[in-house]
Structure 1
Amino acid sequence: MKRRGFLIAGAAAAGGALLVGVGLQPPDARSRLGTGRGAPQPPQGDGVALNAWVQIGRDGRVSVAVPRAEMGQGVHTALAQLLAEELDADWAQVGVHDATGAPVYANAALLLNVLPLQPDDDGALARFARGAAQRLGYSLGLQVTGGSSSVRDAWEPLRLAGAAARNLLLQAAAARWQRPLAELKTAGGFVLHGERRLGYGELAAEAAQLSPAHELPLKRREDWSLIGRSPPRLDLPAKVQGLARYGIDVQLPGLRHAALRQAPSFGGSVVRFEVEAIRQRRGVFDAFLLNEGSAVVVADSWWRAEAALKAHPPRFHAGPRAGLDTAGMRQTLQRALDQHSGTGFRNDGDARAVLARAGAVLRAEYEAPFLAHAALEPLNCTAQVKDGQVHVWCPTQVASLARWKAAQVAGVAQERVTVETTYLGGGFGRRLETDVIEQAVAIAMRCGGAPVKLLWNREEDFTHDVYRPLAMARFEATLGPDGLPMAWLNQVAGPSVGTDTVARLLPGLAADLPDKNHIEGAFELPYAIPHLRVRQLRVPLGVPVGSWRSVGHSLNAFFTECFLDELAHAAGQDPLRYREALLARHPRHLAVLRLAATQAGWSSALPAGRARGIALHESFGSICAQVAEVSIEAGRPRVHRVVCALDAGTLVHPDTVRAQMEGSILFGLTAALHGEITIANGAVQQRNFPEQPLLSLAETPQIDVHLVPSTAPPGGVGEPGTPPTAPAVCNALATLTGRRIRQLPIRL
């Protein structure tokens, strides 16, 4: 209990505050409703706010406030579905608008991802920690999109908001008709009483003056007409028609454009910048040093600003970390593993003692590289600082932090900062950072009140990312008489995402504390192993690291599922049957594993030169299994088919879930086959897609997604499809070639 308590406190501190004293219970869903007249949202057009989450226009249009960023994951649609279901709205009349900063829009579920708990742990300490983490997230006002938490957070509040608005409309109609509430019902945007009906738009103004009933029962599952179905997505028409506004599309009167160059080596500085020559160029407004490591040009078009930097490139001093290189950092991690230190995240039984007595010990070391996010929309932000007000337009996953950081840079109160979140052309965790926002605001302060759009070129995007960490895992295991693992020892070494992130956002609170994000997916194994020891070694390497799609799960699923496959082969057992034998106490995992295997035809014959591999992983409240079918063509791995099974609890929009699984698998394949960031002389070597390619259409396999029906609350969807992909492919290749792949990207 003491160890777990320490880890939980450390996880909370890494998030910026301690859980202790915050509260035992998560925030009550009703407390997040807001009120009609006190709603934090200004009405849209002639809309009337019935609570903080929903406005209804005179024409009956329903507009749902969405405080999460839309980056292709369908969150605008899913959150609107939750509310519209309980409101009994006509889906054709439903739209969304961005929620402004207010406590009711905080992501209370986000900090659940930092707790070092087993997914099925329901003890008193676990319940306290989960409740307190949610209350802390709510108290901090974290309006953040990440951790596959958007639907999980909205599951109760948005449905309750819809039920509350429906209740107000019923009350208003009952008062107008002078009939008991029990005689009325709702359907398709109308309140009905026999043959009479009133549209929601006709009742909204009266409803807004009332208070919702104390009891707001939610619909029974069997009465749902929207949740669990796939109505047309709300974001697609604008995207298909080319009308969707991403950050890079923002246009404003008098807009100026900024390009920049940052020191190529970590910690480098500018030693020469031809400011006067650049200022003489056509269309250039200004050229200056933003800080000691960044040079900026502001012009009437981005191409002119960029051309000025190409014509007069700044010269840089390499700085104190010029000696960094990948080979040296790998040696640093290996030395850390040799020391057997770090933080224990799991210690069931006595793995060390069992291994010391074992006649045969299987050992393996795995490695995963630094990875860039490589979103298709380069980093950008538009900012205007005028008359003491700051206005920011940006594709961000952290609207509340963006507002806070913009206020810091401009030296104004947060109430003077407005942040408009555009569509995101890819996030994957990179847009959890605020660096480009801070830069844009600082540049705008020099532009005399004119708005300015800062756009990084692709080379800046690749070489100044916050990367998925370079990491190594060292395993030792011994098998029992039945061939199943008796003891399992795993040490994972690499930089801490949590420590690095806190250091960037809250430098005064940065500390070397246990980081669940670094070790997740390694210590919560569902397999029944009597003696299981997992340790974390946090090793700073001087390279900025951050959240990358599925964070630590993307590393540790590769490590653990590949090593488990090694044990199965060492025992002479089928990898599927081996996993089944270890999952007797986890029926949901077992069902997902078997569904993937059955749909892939696991036991059926394959054409000559092909093999199958399997992997199972739980992350963000969802369980995902994948079977990959591979061959080798011209000395390179060729993935022909991936079969995916997913238990993500209740599915709000199944078509979107399938699409997210397909996208996650392609993301994972890109990383497994091509992804690698290397460092030499303190600088990133890969500068654009030719050196760090995306998966091509010709390489894309057939992907079959199978969704498990469930009555459990929703799990995450945006990230759980990525972790099993690399191990499934590597396990198939090991079956095919007889050689284990222990280092990514895959090289045969």
Structure 2
Amino acid sequence: MAGRERLSGLAITRRGLIAGAAAGGGLLLAWYVWPRSYSGALEPGAQEHGFGAWLTVDEGGVVTVAVPQLEMGQGVTTLLPQIVAMEMGAAWGQVAVAPVPPNGAQANIPLAAKWAPLWSALPDLAGEPDSFLANRFARSEPFAATAGGSTLAAFESDCRAAGAAARAMLAMAAAERWDVAWEECEVAEGIVTHGQRRARFGELAAEAARMTPPDPPPLRPQAPMEEPLPGDVPASSAYPRLDLPAKVDGSFPFAGDIRLPGMVYVSIRHGAWGMRELVGFEEEAARGLGLVALVRSKFWLAAVADSWWKADRALDRLRPRFAGPGGVESDAVETTLGEALERTDVERLTVLGDTEAMQTPTLTRRYDIAPALHAPVETASATALYRDGRLQLWIASQAPAAARRVAAKAIGLSERDVAIYPVAAGGSFDARLESMHAIEAALIAREVGRPVQLTWPRGEEFKAVPPRTPAAIALSARLDPNTDRQPVAWRAKLAMPATMREFGARLFDDRTVEAAIEAAAGEADPLACEGAVPPYAIPNVVVDHAPVTIDLPTTRMRGNSAAYTGFATECFLDELAEIAGRDPLLYRLSLLGQDARAATVLRAAARLGEWDGGVEGTSQGLALIRMAFGEARGFIACVAQARLGEGGVRVDRLSAVADIGRIPNLDLARQQIEGGLIFGLSLATGASAVYRDGMPENRRLGALMLPTLGDTPDLRVDFLASEEAPFDPGELGVAVAPPAIANALHAATGLRFRRLPLLSEGL
């Protein structure tokens, strides 16, 4: 376990070298046995010296930081090393990165606690990050999933402690040489100084690694924090992304870039939802195609060849046939959701104030959410080598412990005999929380006896990854004529599958898609309904879940529940403001009560977006989103300028202001908000699936109505200065863009759009 892949400001390794070394056991870190002492997965290499679980220092001065999270575009391979470097006093140019597999020392305990209802029989006891049950589960699993904006909550304090301990140890080594007190030494830019004496990290590494750090570590007074400069102020980051040069020149390795000696390539075909069982194919057509092998399973057929193109074209000629009880139909799903909205046997998830306050609602509106496809640039890909009763698996996974477990189970191995090599993902949006391709690659590798690389075609990615859940949401409000027609009672009723429980049954219990649907049937799902309580001071609020069982499996997607609950809430608020005859901005501000952070964000967004009242003809719309993870809260408000143009919705400008607490890296935060706004735009205009006979009608990226470069609006993003707990910004923009755009279209056309995507119901 000595080698590892590194991303560094000093050197970027080419794809071929990384892949070749990986085949021989170098550069990429793997593990066969879970660490028992939770010492971490980062082991020093030649001329390197370990400083706990998080970092090593080599004799040339390179500081290598372990990153237990999947890099999928969000910049985690910059964020965590930056926190270590700032606390340690390392120069940014000497920092490298080692992606490491999950281990007990670097477990995502806060996310395990949040998802306790999905794995624990005692979720109330396991639901706090400091609970014994969450800690034990996360460390023993080990659970290091990359999801839910949990990276800072899970790892910032540990990274700071690791950097501070290493800084103290280096100062101790220098102080021993100079016969001074180590507390008198200064550590900055990779150098320890005392008066005129200087020593570089590399010179001190061997001695420092033997020192015993103080307990607790001597943290710097200020946590990592950058000033939130306005978006139009040019500034260069002191901590530019470590992966950026390699991504620009094409040398950054993704899952599909792995190359092993003697490797063959695999394409695959799956059945449709409801028609999953493979019942036959044109076996005679396989002759003369030059295939290495054909591998069939109950639910798929895979072709193996010396090129992926040959394997994929062969499957077209083989014409696999699938059968089942009947393919999923979108019309039937929508009917089921609508019927559920009429049910009275609902699960009450939230009660604030008086449940009898609703009486006769002033207004009730229904909002419909279509199932949405993740559509990452890189489709599911995994490389596997089975030899001598052991499996090696190169895979980009947001839940690598689960991928390892299901791959081992699929081919009858102990988990001790399966090694995972963590590889970056070319996008995910939570699609890589699913592990079906890990199972398939393992089975095919065992059958073929050679290194195999499985890559799903785009159509299979759309077909076989469960979509974000469809939903029907009914919102009701009673307005008080004596308070400028403000809502005094609010009810949200969500008809949808227990999608998070279904996802959890696959992730934690290794259920099949059918078994997971059955396990979640009829269950209330608070995690799936997060965000349904509006971010306003409404005295009486209830949230009801009408659980629905459909044959279409569902899963998480970037933005998660806030992407549909926020859409319904903010569109409904605009309708209430219209009934009250109020400016949508002033109406919202009047409802924010004592929430100063939300009000400040809303006012700042209105100034940035040059809000002019949102009345008909202005083409402006407004939305506000509040999210929380543990004690951290994030706020974003957006003013959209949109219209109907040639080809559909045209969004000219999105102006957003966010309060995400203390900001460790402003560039990363801005990238996340901007990327989230574009992702939210894609959900507003397309990205959805209509299922016919179990198949999504759209099988290509070009058919999803995703925004192109020419469709990208002018983006204006600002942040508010704050010293509150840092909140991950990755999902805020996703949730705020669709309702802001929908409200802008109302201002432009006078029409209300109550479906996602917005033009799916026609005009």
Q: Report matched runs for 1:613-632 at 5 Å.
A: 613-620=621-628, 621-632=633-644
Deviation at 1:168, TM superposition (A): 1.2
The answer as to whether partners of 1:85 and 1:226 remain within 8 angstroms in 2 is no
* 1:119 alignment counterpart: none
Within 2, Cα distance between the matches of 1:376 and 1:635? 23
* 2:561 alignment counterpart: 552
* 1:574 alignment counterpart: 583
Residues 476-501 of structure 1 show CA distances to partners (whole Å, capped at 9, x for unaligned) of: 21111211101111100111222221
Residues 96-150 of structure 1 show CA distances to partners (whole Å, capped at 9, x for unaligned) of: 011233101211221354479xxxxxxxx89973433752434532111111111
Within 2, Cα distance between the matches of 1:204 and 1:423? 30
Q: Which moved more, 1:70-79 or 1:179-188?
A: 179-188
Q: Report matched runs for 1:481-500 at 5 Å.
A: 481-482=482-483, 483-500=485-502
Q: Which moved more, 1:40-49 or 1:579-588?
A: 40-49
The answer as to whether partners of 1:671 and 1:745 remain within 8 angstroms in 2 is yes
User: Which amino acid is the alignment partner of residue 587 of structure 1?
Assistant: A
Deviation at 1:92, TM superposition (A): 0.6
User: Which amino acid is the alignment partner of residue 266 of structure 1?
Assistant: G
User: What SS does the corresponding residue of 1:203 show, helix, strand or coil?
Assistant: helix
Deviation at 1:503, TM superposition (A): 2.9
* 2:709 alignment counterpart: 697
Deviation at 1:375, TM superposition (A): 0.6
Give the alignment partner of residue 519 of structure 1, picking from 529, 534, 544. Answer: 529
Deviation at 1:315, TM superposition (A): 2.1
Within 2, Cα distance between the matches of 1:678 and 1:224? 45
Residues 659-706 of structure 1 show CA distances to partners (whole Å, capped at 9, x for unaligned) of: 111111111111111232112223322211232132012221101000
User: What SS does the corresponding residue of 1:221 show, helix, strand or coil?
Assistant: coil
Q: Report matched runs for 1:713-724 at 5 Å.
A: 713-724=725-736
The answer as to whether partners of 1:279 and 1:285 remain within 8 angstroms in 2 is no
Give the alignment partner of residue 337 of structure 2, picking from 329, 333, 339. Answer: 333
* 2:453 alignment counterpart: 453
User: What SS does the corresponding residue of 1:655 show, helix, strand or coil?
Assistant: helix
* 2:325 alignment counterpart: 320
Within 2, Cα distance between the matches of 1:740 and 1:511? 34
Q: Once superposed, which parts of structure 1, at least 4 consecutive aligned residues long, lie more than 6 Å away?
A: 34-37, 125-128, 222-228
Deviation at 1:93, TM superposition (A): 0.4
Deviation at 1:41, TM superposition (A): 1.8
The answer as to whether partners of 2:681 and 2:707 remain within 8 angstroms in 1 is yes
Deviation at 1:361, TM superposition (A): 1.8
Within 2, Cα distance between the matches of 1:39 and 1:111? 18
Within 2, Cα distance between the matches of 1:601 and 1:208? 56
* 2:243 alignment counterpart: 235
Within 1, Cα distance between the matches of 2:749 and 2:666? 37
Q: Report matched runs for 1:202-213 at 5 Å.
A: 202-213=203-214
* 1:17 alignment counterpart: none
1:727 matches 2:739: yes
Q: Report matched runs for 1:157-556 at 5 Å.
A: 157-221=158-222, 230-275=238-283, 277-278=285-286, 280-282=288-290, 284-289=291-296, 291-317=297-323, 319-322=324-327, 324-351=328-355, 353-356=356-359, 358=360, 361-448=362-449, 450-480=450-480, 481-482=482-483, 483-505=485-507, 506=509, 507=511, 510-512=519-521, 513-523=523-533, 525-556=534-565
Q: Percent identity?
A: 34
Normalised to the residue count of structure 1, the TM-score between the two structures is 0.89
The alignment yields a C-alpha RMSD, in angstroms, of 2.4
Within 2, Cα distance between the matches of 1:36 and 1:367? 50
Within 2, Cα distance between the matches of 1:576 and 1:137? 43
Deviation at 1:374, TM superposition (A): 0.6
**Using a 3 Å threshold, how does the CA distance of structure 1 residues 223 and 714 change in structure 2: closer, same or farther?**
closer
User: Which amino acid is the alignment partner of residue 332 of structure 1?
Assistant: T
The answer as to whether partners of 2:89 and 2:187 remain within 8 angstroms in 1 is yes
User: Which amino acid is the alignment partner of residue 257 of structure 1?
Assistant: Y
User: What SS does the corresponding residue of 1:643 show, helix, strand or coil?
Assistant: strand
User: What SS does the corresponding residue of 1:407 show, helix, strand or coil?
Assistant: helix
User: Which amino acid is the alignment partner of residue 354 of structure 1?
Assistant: A
Within 1, Cα distance between the matches of 2:207 and 2:418? 33
User: What SS does the corresponding residue of 2:545 show, helix, strand or coil?
Assistant: strand
Within 1, Cα distance between the matches of 2:178 and 2:739? 64
* 1:131 alignment counterpart: 130
Q: Which moved more, 1:462-471 or 1:221-230?
A: 221-230
User: Which amino acid is the alignment partner of residue 607 of structure 2?
Assistant: T
Deviation at 1:56, TM superposition (A): 0.5
User: What SS does the corresponding residue of 2:701 show, helix, strand or coil?
Assistant: coil
Deviation at 1:177, TM superposition (A): 2.1
**Using a 3 Å threshold, how does the CA distance of structure 1 residues 179 and 46 change in structure 2: closer, same or farther?**
same
Q: Which moved more, 1:550-559 or 1:198-207?
A: 198-207
**Using a 3 Å threshold, how does the CA distance of structure 1 residues 36 and 412 change in structure 2: closer, same or farther?**
closer
Q: Which moved more, 1:153-162 or 1:629-638?
A: 629-638
User: Which amino acid is the alignment partner of residue 319 of structure 2?
Assistant: P
Within 1, Cα distance between the matches of 2:758 and 2:722? 35
Within 2, Cα distance between the matches of 1:409 and 1:730? 46
* 1:73 alignment counterpart: 74
Q: How many residues align?
A: 697
Deviation at 1:306, TM superposition (A): 0.9
**Using a 3 Å threshold, how does the CA distance of structure 1 residues 209 and 673 change in structure 2: closer, same or farther?**
same
Task: Give the unaligned 5+ runs of structure 2.
Answer: 1-34, 118-123, 230-236
The answer as to whether partners of 1:258 and 1:455 remain within 8 angstroms in 2 is yes
* 2:592 alignment counterpart: 583
User: What SS does the corresponding residue of 2:315 show, helix, strand or coil?
Assistant: helix
Normalised to the residue count of structure 2, the TM-score between the two structures is 0.87
Within 2, Cα distance between the matches of 1:371 and 1:400? 26
Within 2, Cα distance between the matches of 1:363 and 1:624? 26
**Using a 3 Å threshold, how does the CA distance of structure 1 residues 520 and 344 change in structure 2: closer, same or farther?**
same
User: What SS does the corresponding residue of 2:598 show, helix, strand or coil?
Assistant: helix
Within 1, Cα distance between the matches of 2:202 and 2:274? 57
Residues 619-644 of structure 1 show CA distances to partners (whole Å, capped at 9, x for unaligned) of: 24311111101223248332111011
